[in-house]
Copies of this chain bind each other. A is one copy, B any other.
């Protein structure tokens, strides 16, 4: 099918969804999970074909992301069952006003409609996104990466069978067949069919969406996250937090890329940070990229022009010495991607100033930036991390896949 035909089917399916009950959606989700497990063999076979075709062209890390196993398929099914167990985000009464003249104004949550998702190679994104869409009453149009297309297609075939078995339209879940750049552009401009676009991927994809999309678009993911170690910090705590935020999983968007250190404690803290992160006994050691002031205290790579504006996604940490919390706030304002930033301090005034002034989705006091995650925030699941300010900010769960409408009931009221 052409991308246009898929979009037309998606839009048509969306008109049918407004009155789905929670029971119908949950039954469909459980059937989708069962279908995925039942289809383990064909899904693994499609994945093997993807892996064979991609072996020459993508890195070992990407190949690992692409790889499916029986256990990974079981985990995807379990993820769908967990979404089924979450509360229904649709049909909640968000507000209610009864006017003096008796006119009743109710604000209720409703599905967004058709949600487009552009993503890359991890096959579990296919089932996660589809499950979140079904639970929130939305139709999804998935446009995955070329390397993972056979896997995504096999997964979508199973999920659609699960929908049909429980009487819901299979067209709630749609996979675009064309994996060229053309289909991504077509999806970005399909405002006649798509209500919300969620690009999940690198900075290039996000920027392409911002530049080209006529569909309202959620910017996700890019995280140049900062940790500011204040002069009033507990330095042991600061070491633990920076270590966790930088080293526990550097490839994710909530990992720390930049450490700002108050000048009064820099001579104490930086040698300890270096000893900790660069300890040769660790499985991985960090490369430190230092501004001039930090370089007078410890050894490391001199920071280049772009090092304070780069999402390294690697065992690399840029370090700058700052005069005070205000200079830290100003640095973050100039360089942050508005994802997650932290202050480590025992001074409540510094913490209050930092949390008030830093304009990011998640602002931490004495905790690691690694907590910015739908599961950790108690949302139960996640469609991505929004780094923009409209509609949704930070982790996007089911509620962020809804909008609202006003239902107004009168008895012949005129104005």
Contact = CB atoms under 8 A, between A and B. Distances in A.
A54 interface: no
Given A103-B371, A357-B19, A244 B415 contact: yes
Contacts of A356: 18-19
A211 interface: yes
Given A378-B97, A408-B371, A389 B103 contact: no
A165 interface: no
A279 interface: no
A110 B360 CA distance: 11
A268 B97 CA distance: 35
Interface in A325-365: 330, 333, 351, 353, 355-357, 359-365
Interface stretch (A22-30, A78-86, A286-294, A398-406): A398-406
A185 to B, nearest CB: 14
Count this chain's copies in the assembly. 2
B393 A405 contact: yes
Contacts of A241: 412, 414
Interface in A362-415: 362-368, 370-372, 376-378, 388-391, 393-394, 403-415
Nearest to A236: B412
Contacts of A19: 353, 356-357
B412 A240 contact: yes
A347 B336 CA distance: 55
B405 A367 contact: no
Given A19-B356, A19-B357, A376-B415, A390 B248 contact: no
Given A244-B415, A371-B415, 9 more contacts: A191-B210, A195-B389, A237-B412, A241-B412, A244-B414, A248-B415, A367-B412, A367-B414, A390-B403
B370 A415 contact: yes
A394 B408 CA distance: 12
A317 B362 CA distance: 50
A361 B243 CA distance: 48
A317 B359 CA distance: 48
Interface residues on A, range: 35 or more
Q: A-side binding surface: helix, strand, loop or mixed?
A: mixed
Residue from A363, A371, A390 whose CB has the most chain B CB atoms within 10 Å:
A390
A264 interface: no
A413 B367 contact: yes
B211 A113 contact: no
B113 A407 contact: no
A216 interface: yes
Given A370-B415, A406-B363, A415-B371, A113 B244 contact: no
A303 interface: no
Nearest to A254: B415
Interface string A74-102: 00000000000000000000000101000
A234 interface: yes
A248 to B, nearest CB: 7
Given A216-B388, A378-B105, A389-B112, A412 B234 contact: yes
Q: 5 tightest CB-CB pairs across the interface, nearest first?
A: A367-B410, A244-B414, A237-B412, A367-B413, A390-B391
A377 to B, nearest CB: 6
A105 to B, nearest CB: 6
